[in-house]
Chain A
Amino acid sequence: MAQQIVVGLIVAAALAWVLRPTVMRMVRRRQVAAGKAPGPCGSDNCNCGS
């Protein structure tokens, strides 16, 4: 049982690592939409160079 819990945690951590970029992108998009973060370069809400 202990082995199964350890393995489950490792697999969950691996899944989280693989999905991390996608989740981060989604979070970023929401922040940009809410005006809490600058948008990508060239977009209306970009603040590069400022």
Chain B
Amino acid sequence: MNAIAPVLQTAPRIALVGNPNCGKTALFNALTGSRQKVANYAGVTVERKEGSFTTPEGRRVQVLDLPGTYSLRARSPDEEVTRDVVLGRFKGEAEPDLLVCVADATNLRLVLRLVLELKQVGRPLLLALNMFDIARHRGIEIDIGRLSAELGVPVVPTVAVRKAGTADLLKHIDTVAVELAGAASAGANTWHEPSAEEVRATHREADRIIKLAVRPPTKPDTWTTRLDAVLLNPVAGLLILLTVLFFMFQAVFTWAQPAMDGIKAGFDALAAWINGAMPDGILRSLITDGVIAGVGSIIVFLPQIVILFTFIILLEDFGYMPRAAFLMDKIMGGAGLHGRAFIPLLSSFACAIPGIMATRVIDNRRDRLATIMVAPLMTCSARIPVYTLIISAFVPDRTVGGVFSLQGLVMFGLYAAGILSALLVAFVMRRLVWRGTVEPFLMELPAYKVPDVKNLVMGVWTRAKAFLQRAGTTILSIMILIWFLSSFPGAPAGATDPAIDYSIAGMVGHWLQPLVAPIGFNWQITVALIPGMAAREVAVAALGTVYAVGGAGGGGEENVTALMDTLGHSWSLATALSLLAWYVFAPQCASTLGVVRRETNSLKWPLIMFGYMLTLAYLASFATYHIAASLGWA
């Protein structure tokens, strides 16, 4: 260790390069553990992950996890970052001393072209053959020695998720570090943007090496082939996709019910206990009408969020999501969206914010902007409490055809409305604003694999924790303020109207009500929509508090069951449908607008988004309310 210290003036810097989904981040995690820092690269909204670790010989090594790429011929902002860091020309980023190219051992052909390009850069290079166990399991035989000799770089097999092979990799890193310290400088960089002929030559060279060093399985992976024959079929595949989505939303409604009932009963018991234990007064009102009625009405939706994310993570782990993207490409293309837009739009079902950030994978700026602009129309999980509340209050809990829940069908319809409106808006935008052809969609389809239980549990827990944290901090605080605004000033002596009518919230609601009267909203909805701008689901908690303070529920506290009952009596069906239509389109999320501003680096696009979504929301609610009224539902 002491012998090394004098020759290494600074900690060696390693950059992990590789194709997307090759296990690069898993290797980064295996090497660095919790010693990592996540930020953005200077000037661009591309995530920068840096960490450090110590080699067996005691070297402290800095490691950078670069965005995935298939080639140094960068086509997206992420790929440009990788190219520039590898070439040592990214402003503010130190040049890497060693490149570790991470390869998916089950699909070597794809990565060898990148390895051949990286060799031209002239920096020391190591090839980590990741997912080596899966390759072996599939009967793929890789002659490591031959591969290393043909490529002229050390090759180390790894299984990053189980930390297998990392010890060998660290030994190689030590060896390279010693060579590095002795070398005067790195080799010459001969990489340049290749011509079409040079690209073809690289492909031929990759094929030649594959033939020499890799023996394909005698029995190919028939499972993936057989499943793909059905799941990627243009007709059967689409039907299966629709069935999967339909089943998912049915499950969200039916499976969650027992747990939701349990949570409701818990909050009811808590409110009853507080009412019995505390004397009547403003503190009891704050706890029961503000905290329990507000936060309780949100937490009750936790089981539905858990079920939805369980499905999404299972489908991702199974390898179905890229297939769904492939199936949707034609439909997306028809609407003027790029095939790669499917994953960001699918992420937007959870929340528009990660969805908008995921649009970074789209190379073309116009394609990316079109996706960003429609992402908030996808039904995010924050809409679930609003939809569930209104559906449960107004749609009868019965089955259709003896099998399907009517409430689940309505929910499915709202999701479909979100998807269709997103496609329609994208179509109009591409025709009016960004004319031109959509770039072709190329994506690698990974092999199917059995979902990892640990990954599933971690993923669902992360989402559930985020939901509960939000309920316990921001939503709790907002509910306390809503309670205050709904309770003060109190009613004057001799007043006959409910006390809330004299409160600040009541005055604001009454003042704004003429604006929303044409779409059938009452002043209580107006009051709830204002804090609902912070986050959509806050509107439900706000309704709980406003009606609880107003005493419309007949008691002090307003639990979800009582709130549904109250809404069923105080709103017409036309108003309920109008509010559902409002929530399909309304830009009720300040954080989303903030992210759009950051991702587009302009105030223009969030303003346009706010304007068009608000207009659509008002028009949809207006039309829904008046059509429903003409049918006698007002």
Contacts and interface: CB of A to CB of B under 8 A. Distances in A.
Contacts of B476: 14
A13 B484 CA distance: 12
Contacts of B44: 41-42
Interface in B468-485: 473-474, 476-478, 480-481, 484
Contact of B480 (A6, A10, A41, A49): A10
B42 interface: yes
Contacts of B40: 41, 48
Interface in A13-46: 13-15, 17-18, 41-42, 46
Interface string B249-293: 000000000000000000000000000000001110010000000
A4 B282 CA distance: 7
Q: Which of B48, B281, B484 has the most chain A CB atoms inside 10 A of its CB?
A: B484
A50 B272 CA distance: 57
B43 A41 contact: yes
A3 B285 CA distance: 11
B92 A50 contact: yes
Nearest to B91: A49
Contact of B39 (A7, A42, A48): A48
B281 A42 contact: no
Given A14-B481, A18-B481, A49-B48, A7 B474 contact: no
Q: Chain B interface mostly helix, strand, loop or mixed?
A: mixed
Nearest to B476: A14
Contacts of B481: 11, 14-15, 18
Given A42-B44, A49-B42, A49-B92, A7 B477 contact: no
A4 B283 CA distance: 7
B480 A14 contact: yes
A42 B44 CA distance: 7
Nearest to A18: B477
A10 B281 CA distance: 15
Given A11-B484, A42-B43, A48-B42, A18 B283 contact: no
A17 B92 contact: no
Nearest to A41: B40
Contacts of B39: 41, 48
Interface in B42-86: 42-45, 48
Q: Chain A interface mostly helix, strand, loop or mixed?
A: helix
Nearest to B279: A3
B41 interface: yes
A39 to B, nearest CB: 11
B396 to A, nearest CB: 38
Nearest to A47: B92
B93 A49 contact: yes
Contacts of A50: 92
B41 A41 contact: yes
B42 A42 contact: yes
A14 to B, nearest CB: 4
Nearest to B285: A7
B286 A18 contact: no
B480 to A, nearest CB: 4
A40 B94 CA distance: 20
A21 to B, nearest CB: 9
28 contacts: A3-B281, A4-B282, A6-B283, A7-B282, A7-B283, A11-B480, A13-B477, A14-B476, A14-B477, A14-B478, A14-B484, A17-B473, A17-B477, A18-B477, A18-B481, A41-B40, A41-B43, A41-B44, A42-B42, A46-B42, A46-B43, A48-B39, A48-B41, A48-B42, A48-B92, A49-B41, A49-B48, A49-B93
Interface of A: 3-4, 6-7, 10-11, 13-15, 17-18, 41-42, 46-50
Interface of B: 39-45, 48, 90, 92-94, 281-283, 286, 473-474, 476-478, 480-481, 484
Given A14-B484, A41-B44, 18 more contacts: A6-B283, A10-B480, A11-B480, A14-B477, A14-B478, A14-B480, A15-B481, A17-B474, A17-B477, A18-B477, A41-B41, A41-B45, A46-B42, A46-B43, A47-B92, A48-B41, A48-B42, A49-B92
